[in-house]
Amino acid sequence: MNPHFSAETPERPQPKSLYAQVDFIETLGEGLALVGFDGVDTEWFAEFTERYGLNDNAASANANACEEFFREAPLFHLQLTMFFDEANRRFRPRTKHWLLLEISDEGQLFGQLYPTLFSPAQTVEFNAFRLPLMNRRSQQLNTFALLPAQTSMPQTRPTPLHIEELAVLDVGQGSANALLCREGIARIYFDVGCGVYRNAATRPPNISFCQCGDPVVVLSHWDADHWAAAAVDTDLLTRTWIAPIPETIKHIVFLMNIWAAGERRFCSALRALFASALGSSSFVAEDLQVTAMSQA
């Protein structure tokens, strides 16, 4: 698994700069917003592209390059608070567009840098510049933002799957819910998140998800606190996942870690039929009850 998703902080120096994408712009109230960036160390990426000969105009990443990138790329997450209008003006997310974040003592912006999902923040000063879409680095980075082909779903006759209870799991500042069958076994997890980054301290110490019913994981969206528990209970990576199309390099690297973990089905669209994703089972909810459950 890529070190960014590790519960232990990897020993790596603070980067001088990042190639980054906007992860989110979140309203905080009173005209403020929290902006999150996902990025990769520029020095590492320069050495990586040189080693694999990707600086040639006609070069493309081979299977070994892709595997190393998804496994080893030094990813970082950076957050800063600013006025909401300015955040939208400067950092409105754009597909396949990249930023250069230069970290220095003379930076005009102040943020919190996270080497991993669960590590303490490092306060940094930085400047942000947009890279042109046709910039060589933008094109190289977008090479690793391609998704694998979706797995086809079985087209067999469905059998009933009766869901009788919704369990809301205590995972700290995050989302994790279980749909339980008549026997009280989780058959579907709707989000498997937990506290991350500035909310990492809210994560219970021993997160574990029952998987005896071979549950499917349905992901509502790619905010890290909706999927990060799978980096703690890594058996979740071997489940079948249904999720929206990922938007940043961090999401895609995590997706590829799912892909590599168990070679299970992954369907990148929430509109996929539950009947297909659940191993040819129809979905029936009768007298659904809601229960709060602790993961501590």
Say what the pLDDT of residue 59 is.
60
Percent of the chain with pLDDT over 70: 82
Say what the pLDDT of residue 130 is.
94
**Mean pLDDT computed over 204-210:** 92
What band does 286 get if pLDDT is binned at 50, 70 and 90? very low
In the three-class reduction of DSSP (H, G, I as helix; E, B as strand; rest coil), residue 141 is classed as helix
pLDDT tens across 115-146, in order? Answer: 999 999 999 999 999 999 888 899 889 888 66
Say what the pLDDT of residue 8 is.
77
**Mean pLDDT computed over 155-184:** 86
- Specify the higher pLDDT residue, 295 or 174: 174
pLDDT tens across 215-229, in order? Answer: 999 999 999 999 999
- Kindly tell me the burial class for residue 89, based on how many C-beta atoms sit within 10 Å of its own C-beta (0-12, 13-18, 19 or more): exposed
pTM: predicted TM-score of the whole model, two decimal places: 0.86
**Separation of alpha carbons 138 and 43, rounded Å:** 15
**Mean pLDDT computed over 52-80:** 86
**Separation of alpha carbons 155 and 160, rounded Å:** 15
Percent of the chain with pLDDT over 90: 62
Q: Which residues pair with 125 in a beta bridge?
A: 110
Say what the pLDDT of residue 296 is.
43
**Mean pLDDT computed over 98-111:** 96
In the three-class reduction of DSSP (H, G, I as helix; E, B as strand; rest coil), residue 55 is classed as coil
Pick from 124, 81, 123, 91: which is nearest to 106 by CA? 124
Mean pLDDT, all residues of the chain: 85
Say what the pLDDT of residue 283 is.
44
First to last CA, the chain: 24
pLDDT tens across 261-281, in order? Answer: 866 555 654 434 333 444 434
DSSP-derived letter for residue 31 is T
Would you report the helix, strand and coil content of the chain in percent, each value rounded to 5?
Answer: 25, 35, 40
Say what the pLDDT of residue 282 is.
42
Say what the pLDDT of residue 7 is.
81
Give me the sign of the Cα torsion angle 16, 18, 22, 23. negative
- Specify the higher pLDDT residue, 285 or 82: 82
pLDDT tens across 247-264, in order? Answer: 899 999 999 888 888 665
**Mean pLDDT computed over 46-52:** 94
pLDDT at 241 over 70: yes
What band does 292 get if pLDDT is binned at 50, 70 and 90? low
